[in-house]
Amino acid sequence: MDTLLRLSGVIDAVSRLFGKFIIWLVLAATVISAGNAIARKAFNLGSNAFLEIQWYLFGAVFLLGAGFTFLQNAHVRIDVVASRLSMRTRMFIDIVGILVFLLPLCWFMIDFAWPIVKGAYISGEMSSNSGGLIRWPVYALVPAGFALLGLQAVSELIKRIAFLHGKGPNPLLLGGHDDQAAAVAAHTDSTVEEPK
Protein backbone atom coordinates (compact mmCIF):
# COMPACT_ATOMS: atom_id res chain seq x y z
CA MET A 1 0.00 0.00 0.00
CA ASP A 2 2.90 2.38 0.71
CA THR A 3 4.09 2.10 -2.90
CA LEU A 4 0.60 2.87 -4.18
CA LEU A 5 0.33 5.87 -1.86
CA ARG A 6 3.67 7.16 -3.19
CA LEU A 7 2.32 6.74 -6.73
CA SER A 8 -0.79 8.64 -5.65
CA GLY A 9 1.43 11.43 -4.33
CA VAL A 10 3.27 11.68 -7.67
CA ILE A 11 -0.04 11.84 -9.57
CA ASP A 12 -1.31 14.51 -7.17
CA ALA A 13 1.87 16.53 -7.79
CA VAL A 14 1.29 16.33 -11.57
CA SER A 15 -2.32 17.47 -11.11
CA ARG A 16 -1.17 20.39 -8.93
CA LEU A 17 1.36 21.35 -11.59
CA PHE A 18 -1.37 21.48 -14.23
CA GLY A 19 -3.59 23.38 -11.79
CA LYS A 20 -0.93 26.09 -11.51
CA PHE A 21 -0.33 26.05 -15.27
CA ILE A 22 -3.98 26.61 -16.22
CA ILE A 23 -4.12 29.76 -14.08
CA TRP A 24 -1.73 31.28 -16.63
CA LEU A 25 -3.97 30.10 -19.47
CA VAL A 26 -6.87 32.02 -17.91
CA LEU A 27 -4.67 35.13 -17.75
CA ALA A 28 -3.55 34.63 -21.36
CA ALA A 29 -7.15 34.27 -22.55
CA THR A 30 -8.13 37.42 -20.67
CA VAL A 31 -5.25 39.48 -22.10
CA ILE A 32 -5.89 38.22 -25.64
CA SER A 33 -9.61 38.91 -25.31
CA ALA A 34 -8.99 42.46 -24.04
CA GLY A 35 -6.37 43.13 -26.71
CA ASN A 36 -8.64 41.82 -29.45
CA ALA A 37 -11.55 43.96 -28.24
CA ILE A 38 -9.37 47.09 -28.08
CA ALA A 39 -7.94 46.43 -31.55
CA ARG A 40 -11.42 45.97 -33.02
CA LYS A 41 -12.99 49.02 -31.39
CA ALA A 42 -10.08 51.47 -31.48
CA PHE A 43 -8.32 50.53 -34.71
CA ASN A 44 -10.95 48.52 -36.60
CA LEU A 45 -8.52 45.58 -36.72
CA GLY A 46 -9.47 42.01 -36.03
CA SER A 47 -8.32 38.47 -36.49
CA ASN A 48 -10.12 35.16 -36.40
CA ALA A 49 -6.92 33.68 -35.01
CA PHE A 50 -7.30 35.81 -31.87
CA LEU A 51 -10.90 34.65 -31.43
CA GLU A 52 -9.97 31.01 -31.96
CA ILE A 53 -7.00 31.09 -29.58
CA GLN A 54 -9.42 32.26 -26.87
CA TRP A 55 -11.59 29.21 -27.55
CA TYR A 56 -8.51 26.98 -27.52
CA LEU A 57 -7.40 28.41 -24.18
CA PHE A 58 -10.88 28.00 -22.69
CA GLY A 59 -10.92 24.37 -23.86
CA ALA A 60 -7.46 23.85 -22.34
CA VAL A 61 -8.55 25.29 -18.98
CA PHE A 62 -11.67 23.14 -18.90
CA LEU A 63 -10.08 19.88 -20.06
CA LEU A 64 -6.63 20.10 -18.47
CA GLY A 65 -8.12 21.30 -15.19
CA ALA A 66 -10.50 18.37 -14.67
CA GLY A 67 -7.91 16.23 -12.86
CA PHE A 68 -6.92 19.12 -10.58
CA THR A 69 -10.60 19.76 -9.84
CA PHE A 70 -10.98 16.10 -8.81
CA LEU A 71 -7.92 16.39 -6.59
CA GLN A 72 -9.49 19.39 -4.85
CA ASN A 73 -12.82 17.55 -4.41
CA ALA A 74 -14.47 20.39 -6.30
CA HIS A 75 -16.62 18.35 -8.67
CA VAL A 76 -20.37 18.53 -8.16
CA ARG A 77 -21.71 16.05 -5.64
CA ILE A 78 -25.20 15.32 -4.39
CA ASP A 79 -24.42 16.42 -0.85
CA VAL A 80 -28.03 16.19 0.34
CA VAL A 81 -27.92 12.44 -0.23
CA ALA A 82 -24.24 11.88 0.60
CA SER A 83 -24.43 13.66 3.94
CA ARG A 84 -26.93 11.05 5.18
CA LEU A 85 -24.59 8.15 4.40
CA SER A 86 -21.74 6.85 6.52
CA MET A 87 -18.21 7.78 5.41
CA ARG A 88 -17.49 4.13 4.65
CA THR A 89 -20.53 3.92 2.37
CA ARG A 90 -19.51 7.14 0.62
CA MET A 91 -16.05 5.67 0.00
CA PHE A 92 -17.55 2.52 -1.51
CA ILE A 93 -19.81 4.62 -3.75
CA ASP A 94 -16.80 6.64 -4.92
CA ILE A 95 -14.78 3.48 -5.58
CA VAL A 96 -17.60 1.96 -7.65
CA GLY A 97 -18.10 5.27 -9.48
CA ILE A 98 -14.41 5.52 -10.33
CA LEU A 99 -14.10 1.90 -11.46
CA VAL A 100 -17.43 1.50 -13.28
CA PHE A 101 -18.01 4.95 -14.73
CA LEU A 102 -15.07 7.35 -14.62
CA LEU A 103 -12.12 5.19 -15.71
CA PRO A 104 -14.07 3.52 -18.56
CA LEU A 105 -15.28 6.96 -19.71
CA CYS A 106 -11.70 8.28 -19.73
CA TRP A 107 -10.53 5.27 -21.72
CA PHE A 108 -13.42 5.61 -24.19
CA MET A 109 -12.79 9.33 -24.76
CA ILE A 110 -9.05 8.84 -25.30
CA ASP A 111 -9.69 5.92 -27.67
CA PHE A 112 -12.37 7.88 -29.53
CA ALA A 113 -10.45 11.16 -29.80
CA TRP A 114 -6.98 9.90 -30.68
CA PRO A 115 -7.74 8.93 -34.31
CA ILE A 116 -9.31 12.37 -34.83
CA VAL A 117 -6.19 14.09 -33.47
CA LYS A 118 -3.96 11.90 -35.61
CA GLY A 119 -6.04 12.50 -38.74
CA ALA A 120 -6.07 16.27 -38.21
CA TYR A 121 -2.30 16.28 -37.68
CA ILE A 122 -1.57 14.21 -40.78
CA SER A 123 -3.93 16.24 -42.98
CA GLY A 124 -2.86 19.59 -41.55
CA GLU A 125 -6.51 20.44 -40.92
CA MET A 126 -7.11 24.17 -40.57
CA SER A 127 -10.04 26.19 -39.34
CA SER A 128 -12.57 27.03 -42.05
CA ASN A 129 -12.51 30.66 -40.87
CA SER A 130 -10.29 33.08 -42.75
CA GLY A 131 -7.01 33.43 -40.87
CA GLY A 132 -7.99 30.61 -38.52
CA LEU A 133 -5.68 28.24 -36.68
CA ILE A 134 -4.62 24.64 -37.16
CA ARG A 135 -7.02 22.21 -35.47
CA TRP A 136 -4.96 19.30 -34.14
CA PRO A 137 -3.71 21.11 -30.99
CA VAL A 138 -7.23 21.79 -29.78
CA TYR A 139 -8.32 18.25 -30.69
CA ALA A 140 -5.35 16.92 -28.69
CA LEU A 141 -6.72 18.59 -25.57
CA VAL A 142 -9.48 15.96 -25.39
CA PRO A 143 -7.27 12.86 -24.96
CA ALA A 144 -4.77 14.85 -22.85
CA GLY A 145 -7.49 16.12 -20.53
CA PHE A 146 -9.10 12.72 -20.10
CA ALA A 147 -5.69 11.12 -19.54
CA LEU A 148 -5.02 13.58 -16.70
CA LEU A 149 -8.49 12.98 -15.27
CA GLY A 150 -7.97 9.22 -15.51
CA LEU A 151 -4.62 9.48 -13.71
CA GLN A 152 -6.20 11.51 -10.93
CA ALA A 153 -9.00 8.96 -10.73
CA VAL A 154 -6.38 6.26 -10.09
CA SER A 155 -4.87 8.43 -7.35
CA GLU A 156 -8.28 9.03 -5.74
CA LEU A 157 -9.05 5.32 -5.94
CA ILE A 158 -5.81 4.52 -4.09
CA LYS A 159 -6.57 7.11 -1.41
CA ARG A 160 -10.08 5.81 -0.84
CA ILE A 161 -8.88 2.22 -0.53
CA ALA A 162 -6.12 3.33 1.84
CA PHE A 163 -8.67 5.15 3.99
CA LEU A 164 -10.89 2.07 4.16
CA HIS A 165 -7.89 0.03 5.31
CA GLY A 166 -6.97 2.65 7.94
CA LYS A 167 -3.74 3.58 6.14
CA GLY A 168 -4.60 7.10 5.03
CA PRO A 169 -6.59 10.21 5.83
CA ASN A 170 -10.13 10.79 4.62
CA PRO A 171 -9.74 12.11 1.05
CA LEU A 172 -13.21 13.68 1.10
CA LEU A 173 -12.49 15.95 4.05
CA LEU A 174 -9.09 17.24 3.08
CA GLY A 175 -9.82 18.90 -0.25
CA GLY A 176 -6.68 17.98 -2.12
CA HIS A 177 -4.20 17.00 0.59
CA ASP A 178 -2.05 20.09 0.07
CA ASP A 179 -0.85 19.94 3.65
CA GLN A 180 0.27 16.36 4.28
CA ALA A 181 1.07 17.06 7.93
CA ALA A 182 -2.47 18.30 8.52
CA ALA A 183 -3.81 15.26 6.68
CA VAL A 184 -1.87 12.85 8.88
CA ALA A 185 -2.90 14.78 12.01
CA ALA A 186 -6.55 14.68 10.96
CA HIS A 187 -6.30 10.94 10.37
CA THR A 188 -4.62 10.39 13.74
CA ASP A 189 -7.19 12.51 15.57
CA SER A 190 -10.07 10.67 13.92
CA THR A 191 -8.77 7.30 15.12
CA VAL A 192 -8.34 8.36 18.75
CA GLU A 193 -11.42 7.93 20.90
CA GLU A 194 -12.78 10.90 22.76
CA PRO A 195 -12.32 10.66 26.55
CA LYS A 196 -15.55 9.98 28.44
Residues 74-84: pLDDT tens digits?
Answer: 877 666 777 78
Residue with the bigger pLDDT between 34 and 194: it is 34
Domain count, the chain: 1
Residue 38 falls inside a structural domain: yes
What is the span of the domain harbouring residue 138? 2-173
Which amino acid is present at 163? F
Tell me, what amino acid is at 187?
A: H
- 193 vs 156: which has the higher pLDDT: 156
pLDDT reported for residue 188: 47
Task: Establish if 19 belongs to a structural domain.
Answer: yes
* Alpha carbons 155 and 10: distance in angstroms, whole number: 9
142/76: higher pLDDT: 142
Instruction: Note the pLDDT of residue 185.
Output: 47
What is the reported pLDDT for 147? 97
Mean pLDDT, the chain, integer:
85
Q: How far apart (Å, rounded) are the C-alpha atoms in residues 138 and 56?
A: 6
Please indicate, yes or no, if residue 61 is contained in any of the structural domains: yes
177 or 84: which leads in pLDDT: 84
Nearest to 105 by CA among 54, 139, 79, 143: 143
